[in-house]
Structure 1
Amino acid sequence: MRTIICTLFCSLFVCISGCGYGQATPNYDMIDLIDVSGKVTFDGQPLAGAVVSFIDEANSRMSYGITNADGKYQLRFDRQKNGVTPGSKIVKVSTSTVIEGVNDSDVVIDEETGEPKAKELIPPQYNVQSELRALVEEGKDEFNFTLMSSAQ
C-alpha cells in the first residue's frame, strides 16, 4: 500500500512540475517587432495617462503603451520588450484600462465588484467599439490620434 501511495505521489509531482506555472520568455530574435510611438490628443489637448492598445486583427495579440503628460506613447510588446508585430491593428484608447504592474499603483478597487474604479473619459468609438485602425509595417512607425468627445 505504501508503495502505491509513494508511486502516485511521485507521478503527481512529475506531472505538476512538467506543467510549468510561469510563462516562458519569448525568443525575441524570432519575432519581427517594429518600434511604434505617437501622440494622442483629446478635444485638442494632449491626453495623459491613457492606455493605447494595438490589437492584431488576425490573432488578437496586443501591444500597449501609456500616454505621458504630452500625450506621447511608445508601444510595448510585453514588459521586457518594446514594439509591435507588423500587420493590421485595431487601436483602442482608454482612460479606464488597468494593466497589472504597469499602471495599477494608484488604482482604487470597488469593494462590491472587485473591479478597478476608473472613469472612462473616452467615447466608445475609440475603445470598446473602436473604429480606429493602424497598418503597422517597416518604415511606418508613428501613429498619432486626434480624438473628440463628440462625433464630428
Structure 2
Amino acid sequence: MTLRRTLAAALVAALPVGCGSPAGSPSAEVTGSVTLDGKPLAGAEVQFVPKGNAALGLHAAKTDAGGRFRVTRDAPNNPVKPGTYAVLVSKVSGGNDPSQPGGGMEAQKNEVPAVYQDRNHTPLTAEVRDGATELPPFAITQSGPAK
C-alpha cells in the first residue's frame, strides 16, 4: 500500500511538468476576423509579428470560410505572449499547377494589397493580453488604408 501511495504521489507531482506555460510565463489565445472590401476573407494567412520585442515570437493562423482566425500556442516552447504585434495579412491565389501553361509561380497573385504584408508599414496592430483576447475585425480594402 505504501508503494502505491508513493507512486501515486510521484505521478501527481510529475503531471504539471511540460504541460502549459512555465510559471511566470503568461500565454494568450487570440481570436478575430478579417474582411476584404466588407466581405469575409477566407483562406488568408494572418501573421502576428512582435513590435519592438523579438522575444514575443512570430505566430500565424489561417482564416476560415467566415474570415475568422484563432492564434494559440504554436509549439510547447512557443506560447503566444502578451504584447504589441504588427499584423500582416496575405492571400495568394492562382499558379497552383506549374505543369499547365500559365500555372507556375508567375501566375500567382496576392489578393491583399502589399501594405498589409509589410511589417514596417502595415496599419494593422494588435495588443495581446494574457489569457483570451478577442480582437475587433481587421477591415482591409483593395485600395489600401485611408491616408
TM-score, normalised by the number of residues in structure 1: 0.63
The answer on whether the counterparts of 1:35 and 1:82 sit within 8 Å (CA) in structure 2 is no
Alignment partners' CA distance in 2, 1:109 and 1:28: 41
* 1:136 is aligned to 2:128: yes
State the Cα deviation string for residues 23-61 of structure 1 (Å, max 9, x = none).
xxx874224211111111000100000000111121072
**Structure 2 stretches lacking a partner, 5+ long:** 1-17
The amino acid of 1:147's aligned partner reads I
Identity %: 30
Higher relative contact order, chain-length normalized (CA < 8 Å, sep 6+) = 2
- Structure with greater proportional strand content: 2
SS in 1 for 2:26: coil
Alignment partners' CA distance in 2, 1:140 and 1:86: 10
Say how many residue pairs are matched: 117
Ranges of 4+ aligned residues in structure 1 off by more than 4 Å? 79-83, 114-117
| Superposition CA RMSD, Å | 3.4
The answer on whether the counterparts of 2:50 and 2:57 sit within 8 Å (CA) in structure 1 is yes
Matches within 5 A, 1:99-118: 108=96, 118=108
Alignment partners' CA distance in 2, 1:138 and 1:34: 5
> Which residue of the other structure, out of 25, 31, 39, is the alignment partner of 1:37?
31
TM-score, normalised by the number of residues in structure 2: 0.64
Change (3 A) 1:79 1:51: farther
The answer on whether the counterparts of 1:109 and 1:116 sit within 8 Å (CA) in structure 2 is no
Change (3 A) 1:62 1:147: same
**Structure 1 stretches lacking a partner, 5+ long:** 1-25, 98-106
Change (3 A) 1:77 1:96: farther
